[in-house]
């Protein structure tokens, strides 16, 4: 496969006096994707007026360790992507039931089973979030509680699946300190104007420890109970998204479903499958360049190994890209050689330097995948402090837990880029696009 280079640039958009938060007209294949801390987000109260993009990103990045730890939680012996931390970064509008009950669900590509807090949910179902919403099965004329045993129920992980009064129930870890119990049910699901009958999802009845997303989660993992698995006849296992910048608080990105109207992707990189973590989107990262320098990285530090989960994934819920320890150390060393210090730590970032104009000369990055090179502009690798004149490298080392062997390509490095996932053909494609 010929190697191609994609460069995506952040554009400064000047907004007129227009209500950018007015709902867009979704169609069956194009759905708005809204950052959770955006002014347009219906799922979270707005941050304090003094909150800057750096404050928001630093606050979200503080949850990365919990998310990455949960990606390999041994509580439930199934795909790591079944468990994530308690703050999602992007939401989409989804309706369940007949008549419709509408929710702003967290979009997560490392999770399979869609779930929503249901009426009567006990425990920490919403963490006192005033934007919490609950699905009412009794208010829907088409809700069905899945029988146990049944073929549909058997698709849930063995470790968390139980039968209660002939109905299918399951328990799932969520983040580092919480666990929830849900009934598996089916009902109509509507997204972007398309109605999907008999969609299976978890109706959350109790939460212990931390909270669950205030209005539920839409699972876009690779398993049979994920949105893709259940809608394969309609969308052929194909979707793409374009994530807006955290600095564009009044704009939304987009989610496209199905192969129709996807942009042309001249080159792609293979999707790899890990039988022990089948939900996750593994790709073959072969190297990293910082400016003109190809960073010296041992091949075994990037190698895909299904036995221990090693390799590289693309994730929609982690904020800043994480590299395994030796890889990040080599990248940081190459970056610091090309930027003047002194260097300091600030929040989640350990390579901050004086923002006296030299950040404009900071080196660009290239992620080398099998079959293509993805070029990142400086705007996608640096973040500026709001409190002092500092710029920080927006990457970090993997946490020191079971996922210390996992590289994660995260939100900040995906902004203003259309990423295509073709599960049926096992490829991922990249194309530059202004997503705001």
- Annotated catalytic residues are 108, 315
For residue 149, the 8-state DSSP code is S
Helix and strand tally (H, E) in the chain?
Answer: 5, 29
| CA dist., res. 285 & res. 288, Å (int) | 8
Spatial distance between the Cα atoms of 121 and 213, rounded to a whole number of angstroms? 13
Element containing residue 190 per DSSP (H, E) = strand 178-191
Q: DSSP assignment of 238-277, as one string?
A: EEEEEBPPTT-TT--EEEEESSTTPPP-S-EEEEE--TTS
How many alpha carbons fall within 13 Å on the CB side of residue 292? 2
Question: What separation in angstroms does the CA of 28 have from each of 46, 142, 194, 243, 364?
Answer: 29, 21, 5, 19, 37
β-strand pairing of 101-108 with 372-376: unpaired
Contacts of 357 (CB under 8 A, 6+ apart): none
Tokens linked to 349? 């970032």
| Residue 350, helix vs strand vs coil | strand
What count of Cα atoms within 13 Å lies in the side-chain half-sphere of residue 185? 26
């Amino acid at each position: 496969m010929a190697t191609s280079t994609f460069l995506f640039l952040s554009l400064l958009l000047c907004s007129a006096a227009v209500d950018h938060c007015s709902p867009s007209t979704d169609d069956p294949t194009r759905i708005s994707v809204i950052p959770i801390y955006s002014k347009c987000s219906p799922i979270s109260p707005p941050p304090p007026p003094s909150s800057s993009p750096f404050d928001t990103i630093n606050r979200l990045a503080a949850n990365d360790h919990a998310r990455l730890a949960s990606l390999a939680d041994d509580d439930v012996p199934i795909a790591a992507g079944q468990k994530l931390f308690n703050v999602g970064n992007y939401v989409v509008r989804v309706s369940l039931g007949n008549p419709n009950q509408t929710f702003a669900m967290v979009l997560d590509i490392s999770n399979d089973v869609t779930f929503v807090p249901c009426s009567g949910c006990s425990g920490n179902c919403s963490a006192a979030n005033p934007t919490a919403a609950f699905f009412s099965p009794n208010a829907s004329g088409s809700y069905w509680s899945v029988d146990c045993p049944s073929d549909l129920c058997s698709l849930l992980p063995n470790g968390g699946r139980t039968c209660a009064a002939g109905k299918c129930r399951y328990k799932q870890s969520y983040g580092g300190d919480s666990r929830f119990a849900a009934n598996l049910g089916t009902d109509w699901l509507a997204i972007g104007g398309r109605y999907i009958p008999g969609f299976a999802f978890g109706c959350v009845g109790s939460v212990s420890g931390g909270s669950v997303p205030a209005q539920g989660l839409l699972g876009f993992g690779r398993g049979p109970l994920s949105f893709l698995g259940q809608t394969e006849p309609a969308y052929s296992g194909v979707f793409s998204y374009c994530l807006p910048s955290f600095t564009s608080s009044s704009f939304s990105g987009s989610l496209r479903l199905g192969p129709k109207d996807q942009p042309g992707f001249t080159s792609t990189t293979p999707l790899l499958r890990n039988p022990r973590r089948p939900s996750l989107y593994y790709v073959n990262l072969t190297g990293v360049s910082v400016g003109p320098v190809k960073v010296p990285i041992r091949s075994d530090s990037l190698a895909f190994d299904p036995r221990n989960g090693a390799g590289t994934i693309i994730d929609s819920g982690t904020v800043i890209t994480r590299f395994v320890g030796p890889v990040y150390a080599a990248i940081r060393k190459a970056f610091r050689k090309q930027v003047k210090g002194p260097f300091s730590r600030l929040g989640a970032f350990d390579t901050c330097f004086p923002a006296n104009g030299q950040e404009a000369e900071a080196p660009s990055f290239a992620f080398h995948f099998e079959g293509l090179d993805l070029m990142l502009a400086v705007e996608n690798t640096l973040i500026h402090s709001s409190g002092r004149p500092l710029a920080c490298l927006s990457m970090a080392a993997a946490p020191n837990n079971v996922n210390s062997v996992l590289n994660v390509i995260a939100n900040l490095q995906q902004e203003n880029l259309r990423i295509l996932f073709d599960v049926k053909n096992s490829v991922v494609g990249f194309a530059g696009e202004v997503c705001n």
